[in-house]
Amino acid sequence: MTPVVSRDSPLRGLLGGKTATVLADQLGIHTVDDLLGHYPRRYAERGELTDLASLRVGDEVTIIARVRSVSQRRMRNKRGTLTDVVVGDGRRSLSLVFFNQPWRAKQLAVGVSGLFAGKIGVRGTQVQLTHPECEIFGATTAGLDPDIDPGALVDDSERAMTYASKLIPVYPASRGMPSWTIARCLRLILDAVTDVADPLPLAMRERRGLIGLPQAWRKIHQPESLAEVELARLRLKWDEAVTVQVTLAQRRVAQAVNPAFPRAVRDGGLLDAFDARLPFVLTAGQRVVGAEISHELGGHRPMNRLLQGEVGSGKTVVALRAMLQVIDAGAQAAFLAPTEVLAAQHLRTLRSLLGPLGISGELGAEEHATRVTLLTGSLSAKARRAALSEAAGGAAGIVVGTHALLEESVQFAELGLVVIDEQHRFGVEQRDVLRAKSAAPPHVLVLTATPIPRTVAMTVYGDLETTTLTEVPAGRAEVTTRVVPTQEQPAWLDRAWTRIVEEAHTGGRSFIVCPRIGDDAGTGKNAAGRIDDGDDSSFSGSQDDSLLEDEEAVSAKRAPLAVLDVADRLREGPLAGLRLAILHGRLPAEEKDTTMLAFAAGDLDALVTTTVVEVGVDVPEASVMAIMDADRFGVSQLHQLRGRIGRGSRPGICLLVTDSPAESPARLRLDAVAATRDGFELARVDLASRREGNILGAAQSGRRSGLRLLSLLDDEAIITQAREEATYLVALDPDLAQHRALAAEVARLSEDDRADYLDKA
């Protein structure tokens, strides 16, 4: 009787015990599904030898080569033998070295070809693999590797079959678990899962031209041709896309179950009073988006909307107008910011936009006035009590805060709208906590600081409807961006400083941005060149960490420039005589405020700063921004930073200072930023330069990122179509009662911590 094998069956019991242990310990593969989802990295063609010129020292490799010569000698000092097998690709050679394995000379006879796996090392001028794993083509028991778990896996017929096909899958492997052993384990498992139920309904497969799942597994692991691999990949990408989209569709359905309390526009209220005192006219985009939101707020269906927009497109005003509509309808709004600095900035912005309309109960307040209250973790006990009571009593129309707003002690008289400033993502869970603070689900408006590509919106924010604000208010100045390559054009940097001095003399103001604060030699925490900004690290280092980690090897050459050092050098050197100050997250909140206000008021000419200025700083006279070590920042971060200048009528110039060489990946990213101010275009560049797992905010390891084959950048068509299919399917069968296999797949995804980006509720 054959055991019943399901996708969730543990491999232990199906494979030899030692094999199962090694797979689990070294590759994190525990179940049948884990193994089936361990896709080949590439396919080698039998008869074709690996180009040995491409090998680099330190690489873990699996190569195909042919034995050219074998020599064996006794070692001088130690007892034993040393076997040196030279393999080649026809031009270059590689030495395989074995100690005390004299039988290797017979196994690896001249002319034999096979697979060899190990870590590339060097001895003298010769590259070598020491004790590589070996797999000889052709059935020969002489090639039996005693290290491989015998189990049921290795016998001659098995071996002959493995290489009957022209394409040899090359798997991400590890020491003790070479690629070909993985292939053999798969051979065994593939035969046991031919009857597994297909999660994608037949009708959907037929509509979309997809092969069955067991067939897809077979074709990706044992393809006859690359065309088969493509068919398999398409099908398996669909699995990923549909599972994610069904999860999101179910969430949308669940959110729509409890009706919201409608907050329709009220004429002659606070919103009208605000509009009347706005110093500018709304852009066409702001009006359209505003009307859409206003309409939704007036309905019974809870709004769940993502408002994304170009830097400087005026999202804050749109959000504020939505909040005022809700206040007019007798409810309150919560405005959630990712950090204390940003919360304080939002508070200032909202208060200044509202003017006398935002100071109810104080001198000079106008008739319809409301109150804007701050609630963060660092408030004094007294201030906190006051804020809590304004929220609970309803005196505060708007409560601006950080995560502190999520605490249980925070109550609202009537919460009607939650606005989330999504510089750092608040998960579904956190949105749910806020929702739970009112009887009926409040409306939710999420603002993104950076435009995100459609596919990311559909995947990461798939439970939200999206609205886009592309237009930037008219009358904004031009901003020119230049790369300043200090290696090739050292004189350009001097010109940059001269420009900053000239600017100061004509009333302009400048930012000099550095990746690091400095003065942290003792902590060593910045040794890797990580962007860090003290208490603001939760956003300054946010999404771009991944990028930096990828390049650690390159950027470790020197520590990135630091605010404190650069400020000292500029004060004594090129910017001597200017009124210069520093700004970073480790400064006390008061000092930060004073400095920003002085800069805004024109009492300072230049700020040497970290990414603290990335968001929300609004100084119309700021016209120059020099970003030092610009290659240490991510694309979207640079775009955000650049959004801080050219906000008035003064044309802006943004200088991306870097010592990265021309044509290097870092430099190409900077060139892309210099080439366009279109945030959507840059979002694509950003996406392309990152590992997908990190966009999704999943675990560090790129390979284990929930989405294994699906690319958010390249698979837009699949994602869009899968979303249609999922929406349709969930509308007919919300609990997936008729789709058991798919339900299991969805459950598997939500248990999988690789899919953290989905913030399962």
Which residues make up the interface to Mg ion (CB under 5 A)? 316
- The phi, psi pair for 32, rounded to 5°, reads -55, -40
Instruction: State yes or no: residue 471 binds ligand ADP (CB under 6 A).
Output: no
Nearer to ligand ADP, 162 or 283 (CB): 283
The reply on whether position 311 binds ligand ADP by CB under 6 A is yes
Residue closest to ligand ADP when measured from CB atoms: 314
The radius of gyration computed from the CA coordinates of the chain, to the nearest angstrom, equals 31
Considering beta carbons, is residue 232 or 615 the nearer one to ligand ADP?
A: 615
Segment contacting ligand ADP (CB under 6 A): 123-131, 281-289, 454-462, 567-575? 281-289
Binding flag, residue 336, ligand ADP (CB under 6 A): no
For the CB of residue 683, give the shortest distance to Mg ion in the complex, in Å.
16
Note whether 417 and 445 are within 8 A (CB).
Answer: yes
Partner whose binding site includes residue 212, from ligand ADP, Mg ion, none (CB under 5 to 8 Å by kind): none
Residue 283, contacted partner among Mg ion, ligand ADP, none, CB below 5-8 A by kind = ligand ADP
Given ligand ADP, Mg ion, none, residue 326, with its beta carbon under 5 to 8 Å by kind, binds none
> Helix, strand, or coil here: 690?
coil
Assess contact for 653 and 541: CB atoms under 8 A. Answer: no
Cα(249)–Cα(240) distance, integer angstroms: 14
The residue (of 118 and 358) whose beta carbon lies closer to Mg ion is 358
> Would you say 308 or 555 has its CB closer to Mg ion?
308
Smallest separation (angstroms) from ligand ADP to the CB of 590: 23
- Cβ closest to Mg ion, residue 316 vs residue 450: 316
Nearer to ligand ADP, 286 or 467 (CB): 286
| 314 touching ligand ADP, by CB under 6 A | yes
Among 280, 507, 569, 591, binds ligand ADP (CB under 6 A): 280
Q: Which stretch binds ligand ADP (CB under 6 A): 305-313, 390-398, 525-533, 689-697?
A: 305-313
Residue appearing with tokens 């284990």: 704
**Is 754 one of the binding residues for ligand ADP (CB under 6 A)?**
no
In angstroms, give the least distance from the CB of 478 to ligand ADP: 16
Residue 94 pairs in a beta bridge with: 87
Q: Work out the widest C-alpha separation in the chain, in whole angstroms.
A: 99
* Residue number, 169 or 312, with CB nearest to Mg ion: 312
Q: Which is nearer to Mg ion, 98 or 426 (CB)?
A: 426
Minimum CB–partner distance for residue 119 and ligand ADP (Å) = 49
Q: Which stretch binds ligand ADP (CB under 6 A): 41-49, 77-85, 277-285, 583-591?
A: 277-285
Q: Which is nearer to ligand ADP, 218 or 315 (CB)?
A: 315
CA-to-CA distance for 488 and 689, rounded, in angstroms? 24
Shorter beta-carbon distance to Mg ion: residue 401 or 462: 401
Tokens of 77: 């000092």
Residue 82 touches which member of Mg ion, ligand ADP, none, C-beta under 5-8 Å by kind? none
| Tokens 């009708």, residue located | 203
88 contact, one of Mg ion, ligand ADP, none, CB 5-8 Å limit per kind: none
Query: Which of the listed partners (Mg ion, ligand ADP, none) does 286 bind, with a CB threshold of 5 to 8 Å by partner kind?
Result: ligand ADP
Nearer to ligand ADP, 346 or 684 (CB): 346
Tell the smallest beta-carbon distance from residue 315 to ligand ADP (Å): 4
The distance of closest approach from Cβ of residue 446 to ligand ADP in the complex, given in angstroms and rounded to an integer, is: 13
Beta pairing partners, 400: 335, 374
Task: Kindly tell me which residue out of 312, 462, 518, 634 binds ligand ADP, with binding defined by CB under 6 A.
Answer: 312
The answer to whether residue 473 forms part of the interface with ligand ADP (CB under 6 A) is yes
| Residue recorded with tokens 């049948």 | 32
Q: Which stretch in 75-83, 195-203, 282-290, 387-395 sits in contact with ligand ADP by CB under 6 A?
A: 282-290
From the list 14-22, 51-59, 280-288, 357-365, the region that binds ligand ADP by CB under 6 A is 280-288
How far apart CA 2 and CA 719 sit, in angstroms, is: 38
Among positions 36, 232, 317, 547, the unique one binding ligand ADP when judged by CB under 6 A: 317
**Cα 403 from Cα 591, distance rounded (Å):** 23
Supply 436's token pair: 């739970």
Is 598 exposed, middle or buried (CB count within 10 Å of its CB: 0-12, 13-18, 19+)? Answer: middle
Burial tier of 731 (Cβ tally within 10 Å: 0-12, 13-18, 19+)? exposed
- Nearest by Cα to 718 from 81, 233, 363: 233
How is residue 249 written in tokens? Answer: 């569709």
Residue 649 in 3-state DSSP?
A: coil
Eight-state DSSP code of residue 12: B
Interface mask toward ligand ADP for 607-646; x: CB under 6 A: -----------x----------------------------
How many Å from the N-terminal Cα to the C-terminal Cα in the chain? 41
Length of the chain: 761
Binding status of residue 132 toward ligand ADP by CB under 6 A:
no
**Contacts of residue 209, Cβ cutoff 8 Å, sequence gap at least 6:** none
Reading the block at residue 388, the tokens are 């809590």
> Is the distance from CB of 323 to CB of 399 less than 8 angstroms?
no
Strand 396-401 relative to strand 332-336, pairing: parallel
Give the whole-angstrom CA distance, residue 701 versus residue 679. 27
Rounded least distance, CB 346 to ligand ADP, Å: 10
Closest approach, Cβ 635 to ligand ADP, in A, equals 17
CB burial of residue 256 (10 Å; 0-12, 13-18, 19+): middle
- Would you say 316 or 660 has its CB closer to ligand ADP? 316
Q: How many residues bind ligand ADP (CB under 6 A)?
A: 14
Given 315, 443, 677, 723, the residue binding ligand ADP (CB under 6 A): 315
**Token pair belonging to 664:** 């290097």
Q: How far apart are the C-alpha atoms of 217 and 239, rounded to whole Å?
A: 12
Task: Fill in the amino acid letter for 2.
Answer: T
Instruction: Give φ, ψ of 606 to 5 degrees.
Output: -150, 145
d(CA 157, CA 178): 19
Please give the residue whose beta carbon sits closest to Mg ion in the complex.
316
Which of 255/345 has CB closer to ligand ADP?
345
Residue of 16, 132, 309, 560 that binds ligand ADP (CB under 6 A): 309
Taking CB under 6 A as the rule, does residue 316 contact ligand ADP? yes
What span, in angstroms and rounded, lies between the C-alpha atoms of 176 and 553? Answer: 27
* Angstrom distance (rounded) from CA 21 to CA 531: 39
* Residue with smaller CB distance to Mg ion, 115 or 472: 472
3-state secondary structure 500-558: HHHHHHCCCEEEEECCECCCCCCCCCCCCCCCCCHHHHHHHCCCCHHHHHHCHHHHCCC
Q: Retrieve residue 42's tokens.
A: 């590439």
CB of 398 to Mg ion, least distance (A): 16
Least Å distance between CB 336 and ligand ADP? 15
Nearer to ligand ADP by Cβ, of 245 and 640: the residue is 640
Pick from 283, 448, 540, 660: which binds ligand ADP (CB under 6 A)?
283
- Give the footprint of ligand ADP on this chain (CB under 6 A): 280, 282-283, 286, 309, 311-317, 473, 618
